Amino acid sequence: MLEELRNRVYEANMALPEYKLITFTWGNVSGIDRDSNLVVIKPSGVAYEDLTPETLVVVDLEGEIIEGDFNPSSDTATHLELYKNFKDIGGIVHTHSPWAVSFAQAGKSIPVAGTTQADYFYGDIPVTRAMKNEEIEIDYELKTGSVIIETFQKNKIDPNRIPGVLVNDHGPFTWGKNPEEAVHNSVVLEQVAEMTYHSLQLSSDNIYMSQVLLDKHYLRKHGDNAYYGQN
């Protein structure tokens, strides 16, 4: 089933070690077919050198395995919760990339300090609140998705304009219109986390860029009158 999506999700997963976003099996990529509402995701704990398109798992939005010989990623319920609530996304990435995790473990959002972040994220990359004991103890992965949704709804954040989040004490999730874009956003998030960390070391004062510059850089790529790139 979903042969083309399987291949794309496989290639997206293999990009994680290529871009040094993961160590061992600390990450996963999924993609959704919105016509069938089926999700292709990395199997749990399978080493990347052993991964093939055929080892990927197909699940429905309730997490039932439709096709595959392996257990899906332990983060599957988080992915599914995001797909159910962020209707425009087609791919999700989770990693434990070190600079992004540094902000997550500190419980700090990544402030929009410069144009690199502004080209992809229309504002701060938010961090979720710490999860409650009962959320950790029961349906942890599903509740991880729920706390991400809560963060975006409470703060009136558009997930299409901020395609990523830091889960408090855990790490980053990014998304996009397809698995490839989700990986792209994950690479960018890690890069801006490192840049911003160093910026904060150089100056702990307000490092925010101006709203005018933020608007210019984000909207020239993503606005109604975008002019970045080729037609």
pLDDT at 210: 97
pLDDT at 192: 98
What mean pLDDT is predicted for residues 176-205? 96
Is pLDDT above 80 for 159?
yes
Confidence of residue 230 (pLDDT cuts 50, 70, 90): confident
What mean pLDDT is predicted for residues 210-230? 94
Report pLDDT digits (tens) over 126-153: 999 999 999 999 999 999 999 999 999 9
Nearest in space to 163 (alpha carbons), one of 183, 133, 146, 147: 183
Q: How far apart are CA 117 and CA 195, in angstroms?
A: 10
Question: What mean pLDDT is reported for the chain?
Answer: 97
Is pLDDT above 80 for 217?
yes
pLDDT at 1: 75
Is pLDDT above 90 for 107?
yes
pLDDT at 204: 83
Residues with a catalytic annotation lie at 119, 228
